[in-house]
Amino acid sequence: MHREALIALLCAAAVSALAIAPTAASAWAPADTAPIHPGVMTFTEGAQCTSNFVFQDGQTVYLGQAAHCSGTGAATETNGCEADSLPIGTPVDVDGATRAGTLAYNSWITMQQVGESDEETCAYNDMALIRLDPADVPNVNPSVPAFGGPTGVGSWGNTGSTVYTYGNSSLRGGVTALSPKQGIVVQNSSGGWSHDVYTLTPGIPGDSGSGFLNASGGAIGVLSTVQLAPLAASNGVGDLPKEIGYMKAHGFSGTNLVAGTERFNPNVVGAVLKGLGL
């Protein structure tokens, strides 16, 4: 074989190998030892939140959090089409990561850029993505602690449907047995962008951004607000399928939620006992 032909063959083989090579996150860290996973705390210029799910676009890996976690106004400023936010590119500290992540998407910023005017979308579209540093990607597992899953993007049920979530606010003083929670849907907004839920125990400050799962382990929501009225001690949860759809329509079409490597197990008692080390 001529030297030129051999070089061409080797180059073609290399290109083919690159095309079929697994992405950086195709082999996730073991769930029981991975330092980065859904439910780890995030800190955006001091604002504390809980991450929800892992997302991926090729070799780029993200953690989801609530958009309001990077808000710069008062806690009562919840209209994403009006409230101010820290800019895209803001560093975000992630528990378990060796390097700061970067705010890559924020629904509030996006809605203001595109001139969103739908009242319900403005009020409840509360989703952001933190791009993890490539050095931290090998330390990620997409499974929800205590419950496993998600099994994919799910759908909301009617009132009375069961939901599961994992909060991680530091206000619990490190008592991880209080992190896994089970609850029910008590009210859905007219446009489907928000859902009021009761959980035992209720979400508290610092739990904002937590992910919600349905009874089949599907990822369905992002904790957005602590409700005072009309349903005191309930939580307002944003509709994740709608939030993902909005994100994909505005620059993140190739970004997808990553399913957990651990089987979904909706045993909240077992999850609490596991948190107690029993």
Q: What pLDDT shows up at residue 179?
A: 77
CA distance linking residue 267 with residue 169, whole number of Å: 21
The answer to whether 80 touches 40, Cβ cutoff 8 Å, is no
**Does 54 map to a domain?**
yes
Name the phi and psi angles at 191, rounded to 5.
-90, 0
Q: What pLDDT shows up at residue 177?
A: 62
Q: Which pTM was predicted?
A: 0.85
**Does 47 map to a domain?**
yes
Range among 73-87, 102-116, 214-228 rated most confident: 102-116
**Does 127 map to a domain?**
yes
pLDDT digits (tens, 9 = 90+) for 169-220: 665 555 566 678 899 999 999 999 999 999 876 556 667 899 999 999 999 9
Name the phi and psi angles at 91, rounded to 5.
-65, 145
Using CA atoms of 195, 211, 265, 172 in order, give the dihedral in degrees to the nearest 10.
Answer: -110
Q: What pLDDT shows up at residue 167?
A: 76
Specify burial of residue 242 (Cβ count, 10 A radius: 0-12, 13-18, 19+): buried
CA distance linking residue 39 with residue 223, whole number of Å: 12
CA distance linking residue 179 with residue 100, whole number of Å: 24
Domain that holds residue 69: 41-139
**Does 178 map to a domain?**
no
Pick the residue with more confidence: 34 or 13? Answer: 34
The answer to whether 111 touches 128, Cβ cutoff 8 Å, is no
- The distance from CA 92 to its chain's CA centroid, rounded to whole angstroms, is 14
Range among 25-29, 73-77, 161-165 rated most confident: 161-165
**Does 210 map to a domain?**
no
Q: Three-state SS for 161?
A: coil
CA distance linking residue 158 with residue 40, whole number of Å: 29
Using CA atoms of 96, 27, 106, 124 in order, give the dihedral in degrees to the nearest 10.
Answer: -100
Helix or strand run (H / E) with residue 109: helix 107-114
**Does 233 map to a domain?**
no
The answer to whether 201 touches 221, Cβ cutoff 8 Å, is no
CA distance linking residue 135 with residue 67, whole number of Å: 25
Number of domains in the chain: 1
**Does 116 map to a domain?**
yes
pLDDT digits (tens, 9 = 90+) for 72-83: 988 778 899 999
Give the type of residue at 254. G
Q: What pLDDT shows up at residue 234?
A: 77
**Does 82 map to a domain?**
yes
